[in-house]
Amino acid sequence: MKEIIIAIDGYSSCGKSTLAKGIAAMLGYIYIDSGAMYRAITLYCIRYGIINNSIVNHELLLKHLNKIDIRFQLNALTGNNETWLNGENVEDEIRKPEVASNVSIVSKISEVRQKLVAIQRRIGENKRIVMDGRDIGTVVFPNAELKIFMTADPLIRAQRRMIEMNEKGIQTSLNEIVENIKQRDYIDENRDVSPLRKAENAILLDNSYLSRDEQLNWIMQKINQA
């Protein structure tokens, strides 16, 4: 099988990262978690007072952008890639509600997207990567050999996220998560910079009622065809 780029886009909490990680493990590809990169910048903004009451101090953000370093490091014990922000493991911090409720606001800022897209494209120069996000197939890798667009029922997405958060000891209500998901969907679809769109040649995957193994089997068929 030839080496390719696999771009996975779609709505929040559809399991894009879980699927992308599974594909990367099966193929021996590099997994790039674009969502984690935007979450890391959002966490930085919260910590340094760049964002307050969901309002970003744009001028202050631009002064700090060059100070932000984001890397992925493999955890030898778990086998998972973890997100590091300026030398600190922030994998758990970036999954908390405060970050989740602000990440769409930060990710629509053009200078932020330009910084991260440049990093992502540099990693993808040698292909053999799987990447998930909101604009991977439309903006970051428009020439990707395989593009998948994922969706699922909002309530099911909220239930999945609640289970994930509870496992990490983060307590919140299902209603709060549902509202957060709806708000993120609206922002992602209506932002001026790289809005969430299904690429014309992307394959739709509604995984509302599909298990992880069923999704992997389905996408491996598509990879073989690609």
DSSP per residue over 47-64, as a string?
HTTSEETTEE-HHHHHHH
Q: What is the pLDDT of residue 55?
A: 94
Mean pLDDT of the chain: 90
**How confident is the model over 7-65, as pLDDT tens digits?**
999 998 898 988 998 998 888 888 888 889 999 999 999 999 999 998 999 999 999 99
Q: What is the pLDDT of residue 122?
A: 84
Q: How confident is the model at residue 155 (pLDDT cuts 50, 70, 90)?
A: very high
**How confident is the model over 101-121, as pLDDT tens digits?**
999 899 889 999 899 998 889
Q: What is the pLDDT of residue 1?
A: 64
**CA distances (Å), origin 85, targets 56, 71, 93, 136, 179:** 19, 7, 10, 22, 28
Domain count, the chain: 1
Residues 6+ positions from 103 with CB-CB distance below 8 Å: 35, 38, 39, 42, 184
Q: What is the pLDDT of residue 201?
A: 94
**How confident is the model over 176-220, as pLDDT tens digits?**
999 999 998 998 899 887 789 999 999 999 999 999 899 999 998
Q: How confident is the model at residue 223 (pLDDT cuts 50, 70, 90)?
A: confident
Q: What is the pLDDT of residue 75?
A: 78
C-alpha 97: how far from its chain's center? Answer: 15
Q: How confident is the model at residue 5 (pLDDT cuts 50, 70, 90)?
A: very high
Query: Is the pLDDT at 134 greater than 90, yes or no?
Result: no
Tell me which residue range forms the domain holding 218.
5-225
The Cα 135–Cα 34 span in angstroms is 10
* Percent helix / strand / coil, the chain, rounded to 5: 50, 20, 30
Q: How confident is the model at residue 124 (pLDDT cuts 50, 70, 90)?
A: confident
Q: What is the 3-state secondary structure (H, E, C) of 152-172?
A: CCHHHHHHHHHHHHHHCCCCC
Contact 75, 83 (CB under 8 A): no
CATH number at residue 15: 3.40.50.300
Contact 130, 29 (CB under 8 A): yes
Q: What is the pLDDT of residue 17?
A: 86
E strand or H helix that includes residue 182: helix 174-190
Q: How confident is the model at residue 125 (pLDDT cuts 50, 70, 90)?
A: confident
Alpha helices in 4-135 (DSSP H): 16-27, 34-47, 58-64, 97-100, 103-107, 110-123
